[in-house]
Structure formats: structure tokens, C-alpha cells
A and B are shown apart, each in its own frame.
Chain A
Amino acid sequence: MTYLSFLKSELLAVFYRKQDTINALAFFLIVITLFPLGVNPSADFLEPAAGGIVWCAASLAILLSVESLFKEDFNDGSLEQLIASGLYLPITILIKLVIQWCAVIVPLLLLIPLFSQMLFLPWSIVHVLIFTLLLGSPALFLVGTIGAALTVSLKRGAVLVLLIILPFYLPVIIFATGAISAAQAGQDYSGQLAILGAISLLSLALSPGMSAVSIKASMN
């Protein structure tokens, strides 16, 4: 196995598991629907809350889609093969993660204009929402991967992953919604975007290695 053949097989796997992407998007949509129904459907409430609602829904959808990142490979033994293959594990994890990110975030970004209209987010703010998702979501994927790697051997790990990983998502959510509300108030939001990028880079530095350690510990 080489990195290239691994990349090819992963791309194929994602292509054949289109349902996972659809599930993540459907989950995202239903969480967004909860807020107008549960709290208040008027534009007065939704317009200032839209950024927060999108980000809460995105965090949950991302975490749930990352949670099962290694599950199938663990169950059918290909994770063991991957460790034995001699490829550098952090890199292969990163490849897997980038593919997963493209599979979930790209369709999500394409649908964001639609979702933001459902939440009465003004057109002039939509691009800020897209920037925050582009810069912040890598951190969510990277940190979530550590949780997925730790719980790969557990039958029911989803709730556990949510419990241990969500606290680490808070800074990203805070700065992302901060950027959006700054943009809504007509202020400069580049600082928040810079911090989001910094958090993503820090996660990029730490997460693949830690995930590799966790996976190796789970396989023993």
C-alpha cells in the first residue's frame, strides 16, 4: 500500500457511502429546524441567533460524522492492516480526515446560502458565515478525530465522544459566532477569523499524532 493507493481507496469508500454525507446534512437541517419551532420563528429572534444556530448544528453534525471515522475500518480489520502497512499513521489519518472534511463541509457550504435564508441571515453576512466554517471546521474535525480514535474499540462510543469532545469545541464556536455578530454589527471581524485559523493550525499540529497514539493503544 502506498499513500496514493490509500487515498484512492478512501475516496472510493466515501463515494460508496454517500448516505453518510446525506445523513450529516439531514441531521444539520433538522437541528436548524428545531430552533424556530422550539424557540421563536420570528426574524427578530432568528436574525441575531442565526450564526449561533448554524454553528451549534454544524458542531453536532461534524462530531457525529467524525465519530464513526474509524469504526468500519476497525470492525473489518482494515485499520489493523493500515497500522501494519508501514505507512506513517498520522499522515494516513490526515488523508482520511481531509476526505471526510470535503465530503461533509463542501456540500454543507453549498447549502449554507439556503439555510441562512431560512434563518433570515442577511445576504451581506453569508460570506462571513462561510469564512468561519472554512477556517473553524478543520479544528472541529481534528479534535473530534482524537475522540473517535480513543473510542474506536467501544460498541457505543457516540455519547462518550460528545461528552469528552464538545467542551473543546467551545472556543471555536465562541469565536465563530463572535465574528458573525461583529459583522452584523458592522465591525471588523478579521481578528476572530485569525484566531479560528490559529486554533485550526494548533489542532493540525497536535491531533494527527495524538490520534495515532490513541488508535495504536486501542488496537494493542
Chain B
Amino acid sequence: MNWTWFHKFGSPKWFFQWADKWGKLIFYIGIALFLVGLVLGLGFAPEDYQQGNSVRIIYIHVPAAMLAQSCYLALGVAGIVFMVWQMKMAPIFMKAMAPIGAVMAFLALMSGAIWGKPTWGTWWVWDARLTSVLILFLMYLGIVAIQNSFDDTKLADKAAAIIAIIGLINLPIIKYSVEWWNSLHQPATFVIGEKPSMPSEMWVPLLFSVLGFYCIVTALVCWRMQTELLIRERRASWVKKEVTKHGV
């Protein structure tokens, strides 16, 4: 297999220019997909026969929850890439990704709470899924904290990568233990996992908004990486060229 396309992402200059070219486009595609999903979901999808209109928050809640998990997976993989191949773009990606992942986990928790109030009558239950997202949120906060507490960037990168890798190993264990704990302490409260088979008018908008969320997050990560690149590579000649291009 030819890996040259991937190696290009290891070059700060190449990535900066790639993100400059494609970032906005990805962002607008994401916004468009998300808006289509929202309009279809809020305006045209049928009401749920049990939950009524409150089910429509699913078009925010599910994408946020999916992104919260995907972002952590990406963080862990980037951590491994950094520790194994010492690719210098990997920690920049992690630095850009971690706060966004935290926001996504927070959004999933908040929208879940808002959804829970009318449907279950409570803002919060110690359900396995809710609890694991809460722990995921805390793990994001830990990574963000460790990225920001070292003066030495190299050390901060390594520390964040190590914690992300341990987190990746631990996530299945935590998830399993929380599920086991839940089945022990909370017999038969709510089964959130079992969705009724949705009609296509409901899942097509969901698909749109999930894809939209992925595109928006990709664009945001690109932009945050560009900022981080400008800071870290400030002594490189291509950065000077890039900055003076816009007439500063």
C-alpha cells in the first residue's frame, strides 16, 4: 500500500496549507449537513409515539455522544502514533482535539439531561451509559489539564500521549466495570440502549446531523491545529512567509 498521502500529513507546512485550502469547505459542508438534518429532524420527522416531541433532541444528543467517543479513540491512536513514530503532528492534533472532545462529552451529558427530564422525570440517573460518558468527560479534563500544566512543550506532549494511551487501554475496562456495577446496584431502571426500530424519516435526519457534526469537528480541529502550528513553528521560514502573506 502506498502511504505517501499519509506521510504528507507529517509535514507542518504541507498540513497548514492543506488546512487553509480545505478547512473552510469542510466546515461549510458540515454546517449545511447539520442544518439539513436539523430542519428535517425538527420540522418533518414524525413524533415518537411514546416520547412525543422531546425525542427531537436526539439530533443533537446522538452526534455529540458519538463524537465524544470518536474523539477519545482518535486521541489514543494519536498518542500511540506519537510514542511509536515520534510524528510531530500527532501531539499538535491531540492538543487541538482534547478540548473539543471535552465539549462534545459535556454537550452529550447536558442534552441527555434535558432529554431525561421530560421522558424519565429526572435530570440524571446513575445509568451505565451516563456514568461512562461522565467518566469520559473527566478523562478529557485530565488530558486538557496535563497539556496545560507543563512549561516544557515536549514533556507536555509526552505526558498527554501516555495518559491518552493508558486511557485507551482502560476505557473498555471502565465501561465493562461500570456496566457490571450498574446491573448490581440498579436493577431494571431504564433501558436506554434498546431503541425501537426507527422509521427512515427519523434516522435519515440523524445521519445528516451526525455527518455534519463530524465535518464541523474536523474543520475546528484543522483550525486549532493551524493556530498551534503557527505558535510552535514560529521560527520556521514558511511561517514568516505565511504570516506576511496577509500583509502584517
Complex CA gap A174/B152 in Å reads 36
For B146, give its contact among A160, A171, A217 (CB under 8 Å).
Answer: A160
Check: A146 CB closer than 8 A to any chain B CB: yes
Confirm or deny: A199 has a beta carbon within 8 angstroms of a beta carbon on chain B: yes
Q: Does B141 sit at the interface, judged by CB under 8 A? A: yes
Q: Is A150 an interface residue (CB 8 A)?
A: yes
Asked whether A178 and B181 contact (CB < 8 A) given A164-B163, A168-B170, A206-B169, the answer is: yes
Within the complex, the shortest CB–CB distance from A64 to chain B, in Å, comes to 17
Question: Which residues of chain A are within 8 angstroms of B177 by Cβ–Cβ distance?
Answer: 170-171, 174-175
**B173–A171 touching, CB < 8 Å:** yes
A181 to B145, CA, bound (A): 35
Interface string of A144-156 (1 = CB under 8 A from B): 0010001101100
Q: How far is the CA of A220 from the CA of B170 in the complex (A)?
A: 28
In angstroms, how far is the closest chain A Cβ from the Cβ of B159? 4
On whether A163 and B155 interact (CB within 8 A), knowing A150-B146, A154-B149, A174-B180, the answer reads no
Q: In angstroms, how far is the closest chain A Cβ from the Cβ of B170?
A: 5
Main SS class of interface, B: helix
Taking A153-B155, A171-B173, A171-B177 as contacts, is the C-beta distance between A178 and B184 under 8 angstroms?
yes
From A153, A175, A210, B166 is in contact (CB under 8 Å) with: A210
Is A38 interfacial (CB 8 A cutoff)?
Answer: no
Q: Which residues of B contact A33 (CB under 8 A)?
A: none
Question: Is residue A213 within 8 Å, beta carbon to beta carbon, of the partner chain?
Answer: yes
Given contacts A160-B149, A164-B142, contact A217 B184 (CB under 8 A): no
Task: Decide: B150 and A154 in contact? CB cutoff 8 A.
Answer: yes
Number of B interface residues in the complex (CB < 8 A): 31
Residue B158 CB within 8 A of the other chain: yes
Does A78 touch B at the CB level, under 8 Å?
no
| Total number of A residues with any Cβ neighbor in B under 8 Å | 27
> Which residues of A sit under 8 angstroms from B42, Cβ to Cβ?
none
Number of residue pairs A-B, CB distance < 8 angstroms: 78
Question: Considering the complex, which residues of chain A in the window 171-220 have a beta carbon less than 8 Å from any beta carbon of chain B?
Answer: 171, 174-175, 178, 181, 199, 206, 210, 213-214, 217-218, 220
Decide: B155 and A218 in contact? CB cutoff 8 A.
yes
Q: Is the interface of A mostly helix, strand, loop or mixed?
A: helix
Q: State whether the Cβ of A86 lies closer than 8 Å to any Cβ in chain B.
A: no
Note all chain B residues with C-beta closer than 8 A to A154: 149-150
Q: Please tell me if the beta carbons of A217 and B159 are within 8 angstroms of each other in the complex.
A: yes
Listed by A's residue number, 20 A-B pairs whose Cβ atoms lie within 8 Å are A146-B166, A150-B146, A153-B150, A153-B155, A160-B149, A163-B138, A163-B141, A164-B142, A166-B138, A167-B170, A171-B176, A171-B177, A174-B178, A174-B180, A181-B184, A206-B169, A214-B159, A218-B155, A220-B152, A220-B155
User: What 8 A-B pairs have minimum CB-CB distances, sorted nearest first?
Assistant: A164-B142, A171-B177, A217-B158, A174-B181, A150-B159, A174-B177, A163-B142, A171-B173
